[in-house]
C-alpha cells in the first residue's frame, strides 16, 4: 500500500523541484559499519551473515520515512513498507536479481529469503525480480574492501529507489568491520536522512 505525499505542505518542496531537474540526482556516501556483534550472533545461531545484515539494513530503512518515498509520474508516494531487491552471486561468477519481502521477524525473513536465494542461484541469466518501485536495490561485493562505489544507471529510466552496497568484511584488532555504500535520490532526501539510516543500522547491528 502507498499514499500520496502532499507537495504543497512538504517542507522539502523546493529541494524536490530543484534536484528533480538534475541529470544525475543521486548522491552517495560510503561508511564503515562495525559488524562484530552481528557476525558472532549469526555464526552462533547458524544464520546466514548476508541475510542477517540484509534484514537489519532493511529494518533500519523502513524506519526512516524518506527511504520509503518514490517518485511516480511527477508525484511523491510513500510506501507503507519497502522490500529488498538484491543481487545474488553465483558460483560461476555471474549474478541474478532477487526479490525478498521484508518481515520484522528475522527468522521469517531468512526462511523466505533462503528459498529465493536458492532459486536465483539455480537459474541462469538475470532472473528479473517481480518487484516494482517499493524496493531498495542491494548489491554485495564480498571480495572488495571498497572506500567508494558508483552505479551503472540508465538515465532514461526514472528511478528513485535507494541503492545500498556491502563490501568485504575485514578485521581491525578484535573488531570486524564492513564498508557500506548508500546512494539515494536527492529530490527525496538529504544527508540528514542518510545519517539517520546509518545510525539505526549500526544500532541494530550492535543489538543482535
Domain borders along the chain are 2-207
Q: What is the pLDDT of residue 131?
A: 65
DSSP-based three-state secondary structure for 19: helix
Spatial separation of the C-alpha atoms in residues 29 and 148, rounded to whole Å = 7
What's the pLDDT band for 127 if we cut at 50, 70, 90? confident
Summarize the confidence of residues 72-85 as an average pLDDT: 96
The β-bridge partners of 175 are: 172
Residue 129 confidence (pLDDT) above 80: no
For 102, phi and psi rounded to 5 degrees?
-90, 130
Identify the CATH assignment for 2-207 out of 3.30.43.10, 3.30.1370.100, 3.30.559.10, 3.20.10.10.
Answer: 3.30.559.10
pTM of the model: 0.96
Q: Give the active site residues.
A: 186
> 133-148: buried (b, 16+ CB within 10 Å) or exposed (e) per residue?
ebbbbbbbbeeeeeee
For 69, phi and psi rounded to 5 degrees?
-85, 140
Q: What is the pLDDT of residue 154?
A: 87
Residue 128 confidence (pLDDT) above 90: no
What's the pLDDT band for 133 if we cut at 50, 70, 90? confident
Sign of CA dihedral 178, 183, 184, 189: positive
Tell me the pLDDT tens digit for each residue of 14-67. Answer: 999 999 999 999 999 999 999 999 999 999 999 999 999 999 999 999 999 999
Amino acid at each position: 500500500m502507498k499514499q500520496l505525499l502532499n507537495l504543497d505542505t512538504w517542507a522539502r518542496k523546493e529541494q524536490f523541484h530543484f534536484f528533480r531537474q538534475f541529470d544525475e540526482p543521486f548522491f552517495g556516501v560510503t561508511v564503515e559499519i562495525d559488524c562484530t556483534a552481528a557476525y558472532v550472533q549469526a555464526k552462533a545461531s547458524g544464520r546466514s551473515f548476508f541475510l542477517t545484515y540484509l534484514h537489519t539494513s532493511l529494518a533500519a530503512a523502513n524506519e526512516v520515512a524518506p527511504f520509503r518515498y518514490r517518485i511516480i509520474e511527477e508525484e511523491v508516494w510513500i510506501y507503507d513498507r519497502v522490500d529488498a531487491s538484491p543481487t545474488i552471486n553465483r558460483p560461476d561468477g555471474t549474478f541474478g536479481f532477487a526479490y525478498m519481502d521484508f518481515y520484522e521477524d528475522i527468522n521469517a525473513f531468512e526462511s523466505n529469503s533462503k528459498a529465493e536465494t536458492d532459486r536465483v542461484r539455480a537459474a541462469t541469466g538475470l532472473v528479473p525480480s517481480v518487484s516494482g518501485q517499493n524496493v531498495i536495490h542491494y548489491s554485495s561485493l564480498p571480495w572488495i574492501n571498497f572506500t567508494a562505489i558508483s552505479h551503472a544507471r540508465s538515465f532514461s529510466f526514472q528511478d528513485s529507489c535507494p541503492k545500498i552496497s556491502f563490501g568485504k568484511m575485514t578485521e581491525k584488532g578484535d573488531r570486524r568491520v564492513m564498508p557500506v555504500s548508500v546512494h539515494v535520490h536527492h529530490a527525496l532526501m538529504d544527508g540528514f536522512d542518510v545519517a539517520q539510516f546509518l545510525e539505526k543500522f549500526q544500532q541494530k547491528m550492535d543489538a543482535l
